[in-house]
Structure 1
C-alpha cells in the first residue's frame, strides 16, 4: 500500500512524498504518454481546451511508428498508407493536394513533423524520456515516474491532474510458439524487424500471416526472393486499392453515406470483388470463412497479381518446424532460408497495473469507446483502434472528447457523473455493425461509421454549456 503525503499543495513544483521518494506537483497539468500521431493530437487538443500539457516520448523525435528511425517502428522501406490521403489527414491540418493518393511513409513522417511545428507542440515534449510507472494518487490524480530512455539516470515522479496514454499498439511483436522452432537453423524474424527487400533477395522465403504487412512483404518476396511461400490460417477478402478509378476507402465511404443495411453493403461488396478479383480459390487461395467487414480489410492490389504469375505460392498454416524445413498443415514440407512472421502485435501498458484498464487474462483492456476505463475518470487511452478507415481523424476526435470530458468534470459535475455511468455500463462494447472475428488482431476492430456516430453523441453530451 503506497503512503501518500497529506501535503496537497497544487502549486507546480511543490514537493510531495510517496513511499519515501519526492513527487513534484504539476498542478492542473495533463500528462501525455507518447508523441506519435495520437499523442500529438492529444497535446494539441488539450492545449486548445486550456490545459497545460507535459508529454513524455521515449524516442528522440515525433511521429512514433511512422518515424522509421525509431527502434520500435514497424515501418519498412516500401511502406505506404493503406488508407487514402483525404481520409487519413487530420480534419484541421490537410495533407498537400499534390501528394499521391497513398503517400509514402517518409511523407507521413514529414506531415506529422509539420503538424507538431504548426501547432507548436515540441515545447511540451520531453524527448528521450520513458514512462516506467503511472500510479493513482489522491483526488483522482496520477503519479507518473519517468527516466531517461534505456534506464539511464535517476527516476523522477511528477503528479498530474490527468493522464492520456498514447503509446501505440503496433510495436510489441506477437510471436507464435510453433513446435520445433527452437531447433530450426534458418533465419526467423518478425515483420517488425523487416526493413528492406535486400533481406530476402535470392533466398527461399516463407511469409506467415495474412494481414496487410504480411501481404506487402509477400509481394516484395515474390519480386526479390528465389522462392516465396505465403502461409495463412484462413481465407481473406483481398481488396484492390482502387475501385472505379477511386481509392477504395473513398468508394466505401460513399456507400456508407447511403446508410444501407449491413447485409446489402456486404452483398454489394461481394459482387464488386467477384467482378474485380474473381474466385480466389482459382488462384489456390482458401475461400474466406467470413463475410466482408467481419475481419480487418486487406488492401492490396498486387498479391493476386503475383500469385497469378507464380511468384507467390499460397500455402496453409504452419504445423511445425524442423532443423532445415517446415511442415505445413496439409503435410507438405518446404525448406525456406528465411521465415518472416507477420503475426501482428499485442498491446502493452507495462507502466500501468492491469486492473486499472480492466485488462482480462488475455491482456485485452475494457474501455468505453476504446478510450475510457471504468473507475478512473482522469485516465484515457487514445489511438487503441483497428479501423476500416484511417486512424488519425479518429484519434483527433477521441482526444477532443477526452479534453471536453476533463473540462466538464470541473464545470458541470452532475453531467460528468452521468457520463461516468455510461462509461461503466458500456466499457468493452464493440462499435461495429458486423460480427467481427474473435482474435487478438481484431480486439480493437471498429466500423468507423458506427464508431464516429457513437463518438459524435459523446461529443454532444460533453459539450460545455455556456
Structure 2
C-alpha cells in the first residue's frame, strides 16, 4: 500500500522519517525552510534563528545519537561529537540512503488541512517569494519541525524598568558580546550549562538564578572513561525508583567530601539539594560547575523578586548590579500550521506522536525527549512505526484502546517526572524504547538469545544504544547491529553488577511485601 507522505522539516527527526518511509516504499516529499538539512545543527543559521553555538559539544555520546541503521564508523571510541561532527554524520546518513531528492529546500509550510478525498492539503510558499503559494495533496503528513524553534521569553518582575539588554540563549553563538558585562543568567539546562560557563569566564560578574537545583550528571561520571549514557542499562533500570533515588542521594552526600576533584564535589553538593534525582530531567553537562569552583559564578536559588534599572533583587534579599539578562528558559511549541485540531500537550499523543482525532493522517515525530538518552533514537522508533502503519503492516489500536493507552502514558510520565511538570516532551528512555520495540516487533529479547549468551549479557549490562533494536524485526541488520553492540564494553564493573543485581532483587522482595513503593506501570 504505497502512500504519498509529506515530511515537514529536514532535521534529524525529519531525515529518519524520510528514510523509514522510503524503506517501506512510500512516496515522500520533505519541505525544509532553510537551504540545508540538519535542523539546529545546520552550518548556516540566521541571527534570529535558533541553532548550535560555536563551541557546541553534544551531551549525548556518538553511539546514542546515531540511528540504528547507520552506526558510527567501526572502531570509533565512545565520545561526544561536536555540532560539526554530528552535522557531517547527518549529511552522510542522507547520502547513504538517498534522501536528498525528497527534500525541497527554502520552502515554508503555511498550513496543513484535511481535504475532501480523505487526505491532506499542504500549502507552501518559497521563502524568497511568500506570494508564490502552492497547494500539494498528500495521504499523510509528518510534522518534524523540532522543539527548538520558538524561544520561550518569560516575563520577569520589573523588567519594564530594566535599562539593560535581555537576550535568549536560542540566539547565543559565543561569549564575545558579554565581555566585561555584569550578567544575570536565568535558568539552567544542557545548553545553559555551556552558555553560563562561557559567559562567566569573560564577564565582569555572572550570577545564575535557578528555581530548583536541577540534577546534574557529569559528562564522565566518577572520572572514568565512560560517557554518562554508557550507564543506560537494563541492569540499572531494574532497580525501582524508590530504591534508586535514596541510594543516589546517599552517594551524592558521600561525594560532597570524598569526590576525586573539586568539580566532582561541587556536583555532589549541588545534587544533594534535590532528593528526587530520578524524577527530573537530568542535565548531562557539568561545565558551569567549574565556574562555581573558581569563583567566577555565583548561584542564587531563592528566585527573582524584581528587576530595577540596573540591578536584580532576589527573594533572599540579595541585590546584584547587572546590565544584561540571559534567558535560558527553553522553547515553546507552535503547531499553528494545523487547521483541524489543537495540539497543546504532547503527552496527550500516543507515543508522543499520534493524536486520537488525527490517527495516521498527521503524526508528530521528534517530541519524545528522554531524561537520559537521545531524541534521534526515539524519533527513529516513531518513524519505523509510522512507516509500518502507512504500509498496513501495523494497525493502530481502536479509538477506545488508544485513548486508554494515552491516559496511562500521561499518568506514568506525570508521576515519574513530577519534578519538571512543564517539560511535556520527557520520556523514560528504557521504558519508552522497550515498549515501542514490542509494538513494532523489534525487541531483542527473543528465545534465540539463549544461543548467544555473550550478547544476552551485553544487552542486560551494557548501554541501550539504538542499535539493539536492529537485531531483529522489520528491516533488521543483525550482523551490523551485533557488532556495534558488542564493540562497547559495559560501564559497570563486575562488583557493581553484583551489587546492583542484589539491590534489584531485594527491592523486588520488599515491593511484594508491601514495604517499598513499586514503580508506576508504563
**1:446 is the counterpart of 2:427:** yes
Cross-structure match for 2:54? 77
Cross-structure match for 2:37? 62
Matched residues in 1 for 2:157 and 2:391: separation? 53
Determine which of 111, 120, 137 is the counterpart of 1:142. 120
Matched residues in 2 for 1:121 and 1:421: separation? 37
Cross-structure match for 1:114? 92
**1:395 is the counterpart of 2:379:** yes
Cα displacement (A) at 1:311: 1.1
Q: Which runs of 5+ in 2 are unaligned?
A: 258-263, 444-472, 475-522
Cα displacement (A) at 1:183: 2.8
**1:227 is the counterpart of 2:205:** yes
Matched residues in 1 for 2:298 and 2:422: separation? 24
Cross-structure match for 1:374? 356
User: What is the TM-score normalised by the length of structure 2?
Assistant: 0.76
CA separation of 1:146/1:433 partners in 2, compared to 1, >3 Å: closer, same or farther?
A: closer
Contact 2:347 2:425 in 1 (8 A): no
CA separation of 1:424/1:271 partners in 2, compared to 1, >3 Å: closer, same or farther?
A: same
Determine which of 277, 282, 293 is the counterpart of 1:297. 282
Matched residues in 2 for 1:276 and 1:298: separation? 18
**1:339 is the counterpart of 2:325:** yes
Secondary structure of the corresponding residue to residue 418 of structure 1: coil
Cross-structure match for 1:199? 177
CA separation of 1:114/1:286 partners in 2, compared to 1, >3 Å: closer, same or farther?
A: closer
Matched residues in 2 for 1:255 and 1:292: separation? 18
Cα displacement (A) at 1:73: 2.9
1:69-108 matches, within 5 Å, as: 69-71=44-46, 72-96=49-73, 97-98=75-76, 101-108=79-86
Cross-structure match for 2:306? 320
Contact 1:284 1:314 in 2 (8 A): no
Secondary structure of the corresponding residue to residue 319 of structure 1: strand
Q: Which has the higher strand share?
A: 1
Cα displacement (A) at 1:98: 4.0
Cα displacement (A) at 1:424: 2.9
Matched residues in 2 for 1:422 and 1:461: separation? 22
CA separation of 1:443/1:417 partners in 2, compared to 1, >3 Å: closer, same or farther?
A: closer
Say which is worse superposed, 56-65 or 231-240, in terms of deviation.
231-240
Matched residues in 2 for 1:369 and 1:179: separation? 37
Contact 1:295 1:436 in 2 (8 A): yes
Determine which of 133, 137, 144 is the counterpart of 1:155. 133
Q: Provide Cα deviations, 1:216-237, integer angstroms capped at 9, x if missing partner.
A: 2111122221211011011222
Matched residues in 2 for 1:449 and 1:433: separation? 17
Cross-structure match for 2:482? none
Aligned pairs, number: 428
Say which is worse superposed, 179-188 or 58-67, in terms of deviation.
179-188
Cα displacement (A) at 1:30: 0.4
Matched residues in 2 for 1:100 and 1:281: separation? 26
Cross-structure match for 1:256? 236
User: What is the TM-score normalised by the length of structure 1?
Assistant: 0.85
Contact 2:245 2:275 in 1 (8 A): no
Cα displacement (A) at 1:346: 0.8
Q: Which has the higher helix share?
A: 2
Cα displacement (A) at 1:205: 1.3
Say which is worse superposed, 448-457 or 276-285, in terms of deviation.
276-285
1:210-289 matches, within 5 Å, as: 210-244=188-222, 245=224, 246-253=226-233, 255-256=235-236, 259-276=238-255, 288-289=273-274
Say which is worse superposed, 157-166 or 245-254, in terms of deviation.
245-254
